[in-house]
Structure 1
Amino acid sequence: MILEEFLQIVGLITLTVFILIFIVSILILIIGYILLKKDRLIFPNLALFLMDNFYSILLKVFLLIGTEDTFYRVGIEFYNKYYEDAFKKAKNKVLVLPHCLRDSKCPAKLTPNGVECIFCGRCKIGDIIKVAKENNYKVYIVPGSTFLKRILKEEKPEAVFGVACNRDLFYGMNMLSRKGIPSQGQPLLRDGCINTLVDVDELISRLKNLR
C-alpha cells in the first residue's frame, strides 16, 4: 500500500515536471520569436544549445502554436542572427546555391564540383556569382545535400552561406552549427525542383554586407 502511494506521488511529480517543461518551452518559443523579430536574442547560448540538439522536440511544441514552415523560418532567422558577427570575421567563405535556381533550359553541365555556370544570362545565377567572387566567396551550385558534405570535407570553409528552401536550409544550418561552422542563409521565395526563385537584390546586398 505504501509502495503504491509512493509510485503515485512519483508519477504525479513526473507529470507535473513534464507539464512545466512543456509550458516553459512554449513560452520560450513565443518570447524568443518576438525578440527575434525585434533583432534581439534571449539567452543566445542556451537557445543555440536547444536549437542544435533538441530541434525535433521544439518543432513538435511549435506545431501547437504555428506551422512547420514557420518553425524553419524562425530557426533560420535565429542562426542568421546568432552567427552574423562570426560569419563576418571568417576569411574562407563559400556560397552554396541550389541548382534549381537555373533556367529550365540551362546549358551548364554538372561536374564533380557541382554545376559550372557559363554565364549565359538565362538566369540570375551568373550575376550572383560575380558579386560573390568580388567579395571573396567561393561559389558552388549543388544538386543536393551530399555535395555540401563534400564541400565541407574538401574545402574546409570557415563559414558557409546557403540558399535553399526553408526546410533544407534549416537542417543545413543546424548541421553546420553542430560542427561549429558559422553560417548565413537566404530562403527561396519559391521552392520546388525547377525554376525556383530567390530575392536576388537582397541576396547580393547581404553578400556584400557580410564580407
Structure 2
Amino acid sequence: MEFIDKKVVSINNLMLKFRKKKCTPKNLLILFPHCIQNSQCKQNVKNDLSECKRCGKCKIKDLLEFSEKYGVNICLATGGRVALQKVMAEDIHGVIAIACEKELRTGLMAAMSKAIFAVPNLRPHGYCKDTDVYLDEVREAIEQFLQ
C-alpha cells in the first residue's frame, strides 16, 4: 500500500505543477504534523505555535520562519479531522501539506477540490516520532504558489 500512497502523492504534485495554481500569501497554508516536533521538547506547540522557543532541534523553527518571511498561514495538525477543517476553510486556496504518504493520500482524497502540494516527511526514527522534512521542497512549493 505504501507504493500506492507514494504514487498518489507524486501524481497529485505533478498535476498541481501543470495547473499552475497561484494564490496570495493570506490564502496559502502550510500544514504540518505534530510529529515534526522533537519528542524531547517540553514546549506545548500543539495548542499554540508561539510557544515554540525556536531552538532548532526540529524543523518547526524553520517552518515558522517561512510563514513569517512569505506572510503565509501555518498550522500544526493534531489529527486528520483538524487538518481537513483547516484545509477546507473558505479563505484557503492553496495548501502545502507535510505528512507521511498515507496521511497525505487520505487528505488529498478528502480535500480534492483544493490545490494541495504534498510534501512527504522523513521518518528516520519510524512513523510519528521526530519526523523531518526537506525544507527546500517546502520553500519551492511556497514560491510556486506565490509567483
TM superposition score category, shorter chain reference: 0.7 to 0.9
Task: Report if the CA contact (8 A) 2:32-2:99 is conserved.
Answer: yes
Give the counterpart letter for 2:137 in structure 1.
Answer: E
Q: Does 1:156 align with 2:91?
A: yes
- Which protein is richer in helix relative to its size? 1
1:105 to 33, 40, 47: 40
CA distance in 1, matches of 2:4, 2:119: 15
1:178-201 CA-partner distances (Å, limit 9, x unpaired): xx1111010112151211122223
CA distance in 1, matches of 2:136, 2:114: 25
In structure 2, relative to structure 1, the CA distance for the partners of 1:96 and 1:119 (3 Å cut) is same
1:175 to 107, 110, 114: 110
In structure 2, relative to structure 1, the CA distance for the partners of 1:134 and 1:87 (3 Å cut) is farther
Q: Does 1:197 align with 2:99?
A: no
Higher Cα Rg, which structure: 1
Q: How does 1:57-68 map to 2 (within 5 A)?
A: 68=1
1:18-46 CA-partner distances (Å, limit 9, x unpaired): xxxxxxxxxxxxxxxxxxxxxxxxxxxxx
In the comparison of the two structures, how many residue pairs are matched? 140
Computed over aligned residues only, the root mean square deviation of the Cα atoms, in angstroms, reads 2.2
Q: Which has the higher contact order (CA 8 A, sep 6+)?
A: 2
CA distance in 1, matches of 2:70, 2:21: 11
Q: TM-score, normalised by structure 1?
A: 0.59
Q: TM-score, normalised by structure 2?
A: 0.81
Give the counterpart letter for 2:115 in structure 1.
Answer: P
CA distance in 2, matches of 1:135, 1:208: 9
In structure 2, relative to structure 1, the CA distance for the partners of 1:101 and 1:87 (3 Å cut) is farther
Gap runs ≥5 in structure 1: 1-67
> What is the CA-CA distance between 1:155 and the residue it aligns to?
6.0
2:4 to 51, 71, 93: 71
